[in-house]
């Protein structure tokens, strides 16, 4: 079984190092991060620019000047001006959406070769002003005299002048991601110890993978500084000296009294970008590009954001497996986005639960208990970081490289996202 239409290959991928917000990339915009990754990816993959049909790109917290960041990334990175471009957003699954949109266009024969990816510059989030200030600015711009311009501000209070930073909170429920993860931990009985253990595992495995040089094919070097004379070659969130007992000392952040979510077991606010080259199998052959793997199937799902915000992978993963005619034993690797350790453990718990399948999946067979060694063997978003727009492409490329190294065939990539959304992608190498 497989998706209808032409077979879709992923022939290359690349990401910047992922760094904690307000550190090494603090002066970069999402556009700059996207530009760097796309231009280097195209060069490294040795793709003739004339073969690129489209760029699909996204960012989750966009700058107001960049309503179609995909087009700006395409132009800034030197792709031919004739390369079509559109932007997508699906919260933390944004670059999964970029991939599947590219794949659909390729399957249908609308495009042969597409760059798909995303970027996030949490160091450069747009800071807004209150509605009264915005209205006064517009009114002042219409004023003909200085007096008329000043009069526009007479109703603006001192409080209105305070800048409004973007909230990482659900618009519909008002709960932050962290508060929603806290709710999931409580409702699913995920203990602080289990969360800390998972977070420590993430750092340990990521540090081990860096040490072993496993990210060499995945991560580019980025030049920073006023004269572009400083090199950022590695992620800077991974703790090389992670110790399990260090996690227990951290205070809960989102429910200070009864909570279990800490800075240690959450993904951090991150800057970075990632992109993939997606191509029709026949076009890859024609251009002499060797596929890293193929997109076999994908599925999305949505749950009530007021229920368990980050639990939609409990629906999207079984849906993708069912569509592909596969079961747990057919999957060699699970790359699961780690927004919070509590979310990963909740997703895994639901995948294994007969009760969950009976109550929510119409009595279908649960996926089953995923052996831990099959999950995120190079660490996950808690340690590697999570630039919202870039994480999906990072997961897909990392999964394909891990399969390549282990000589295995199939991976399931799973991403939870704001809005109660979930994505699952099944990749295969042969």
Ligand X SMILES: CC(C)(COP(=O)(O)OP(=O)(O)OC[C@H]1O[C@@H](n2cnc3c(N)ncnc32)[C@H](O)[C@@H]1OP(=O)(O)O)[C@@H](O)C(=O)NCCC(=O)NCCS
- Contact call for residue 306 and ligand X (CB under 6 A): no
- Contact call for residue 252 and ligand X (CB under 6 A): no
**416 has catalytic annotation:** yes
Q: Calculate Rg over the CA atoms of the chain.
A: 22
- Contact call for residue 284 and ligand X (CB under 6 A): no
Q: Which of 10, 88, 92, 427 binds ligand X (CB under 6 A)?
A: 92
Q: Which of 63, 137, 139, 168 binds ligand X (CB under 6 A)?
A: 168
The minimum distance between CB 249 and ligand X, in angstroms, equals 7
- Contact call for residue 198 and ligand X (CB under 6 A): no
Q: Which of 132, 246, 306, 419 binds ligand X (CB under 6 A)?
A: 246
- Contact call for residue 411 and ligand X (CB under 6 A): no
- Contact call for residue 339 and ligand X (CB under 6 A): yes
Span from 204-212, 258-266, 296-304, 361-369 in contact with ligand X (CB under 6 A): 258-266
Determine which one of 203, 337, 386, 397 is catalytic.
Answer: 386
The minimum distance between CB 122 and ligand X, in angstroms, equals 9
The minimum distance between CB 247 and ligand X, in angstroms, equals 5
- Contact call for residue 96 and ligand X (CB under 6 A): no
**279 has catalytic annotation:** no
- Contact call for residue 233 and ligand X (CB under 6 A): no
The minimum distance between CB 267 and ligand X, in angstroms, equals 5
**92 has catalytic annotation:** yes
Q: Which of 269, 275, 301, 400 binds ligand X (CB under 6 A)?
A: 269
């Amino acid at each position: 079984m497989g998706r209808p239409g032409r077979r879709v290959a992923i022939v290359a991928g690349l990401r910047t190092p992922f760094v904690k917000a307000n550190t090494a990339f603090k002066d970069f915009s999402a556009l700059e991060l996207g530009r760097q990754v796309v231009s280097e990816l195209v060069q490294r993959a040795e793709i003739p620019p004339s073969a690129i049909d489209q760029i699909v790109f996204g960012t989750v917290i966009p700058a107001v000047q960049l309503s179609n960041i995909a087009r700006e990334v395409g132009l800034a990175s030197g792709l031919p001006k004739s390369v079509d471009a559109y932007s997508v957003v699906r919260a933390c699954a944004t670059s999964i959406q970029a991939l599947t949109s590219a794949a659909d266009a390729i399957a249908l024969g609308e495009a042969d070769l597409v760059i798909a990816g995303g970027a996030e510059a949490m160091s450069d989030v747009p800071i807004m002003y209150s509605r009264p200030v915005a209205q006064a600015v517009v009114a002042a711009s219409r004023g003909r005299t200085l007096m008329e311009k000043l009069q526009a501000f007479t109703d603006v209070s001192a409080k209105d002048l305070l800048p409004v930073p973007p909230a990482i909170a659900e618009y519909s429920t008002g709960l932050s991601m962290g508060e929603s993860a806290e709710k999931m931990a409580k409702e699913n009985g995920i203990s602080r110890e289990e969360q800390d253990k998972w977070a420590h595992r993430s750092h340990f495995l990521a540090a081990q993978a860096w040490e072993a040089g496993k990210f060499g094919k995945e991560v580019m070097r980025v030049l920073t500084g006023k004269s572009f004379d400083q090199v950022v070659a590695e992620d800077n969130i991974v703790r090389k000296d992670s110790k399990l007992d260090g996690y227990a000392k951290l205070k809960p952040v989102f429910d200070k009294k009864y909570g279990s979510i800490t800075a240690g077991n959450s993904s951090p606010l991150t800057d970075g970008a990632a992109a993939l080259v997606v191509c029709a199998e026949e076009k890859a052959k024609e251009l002499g590009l060797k596929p890293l793997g193929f997109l076999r199937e994908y599925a999305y799902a949505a749950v009530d954001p007021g229920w368990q915000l980050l639990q939609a992978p409990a629906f999207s993963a079984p849906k993708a497996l069912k569509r592909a005619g596969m079961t747990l034993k057919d999957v060699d690797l699970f790359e699961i986005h780690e927004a919070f350790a509590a979310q990963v453990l909740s997703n895994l718990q639901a995948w294994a639960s007969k009760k969950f399948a009976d109550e929510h999946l119409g009595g279908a067979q649960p996926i089953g208990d995923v052996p831990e060694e099959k999950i995120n063997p190079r660490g996950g978003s808690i340690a590697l970081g999570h630039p919202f727009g870039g994480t999906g492409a990072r997961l897909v490329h990392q999964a394909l490289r891990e399969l390549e190294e282990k000589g295995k065939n199939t991976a399931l990539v799973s991403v939870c996202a704001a809005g109660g959304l979930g994505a699952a992608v099944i990749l295969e190498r042969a």
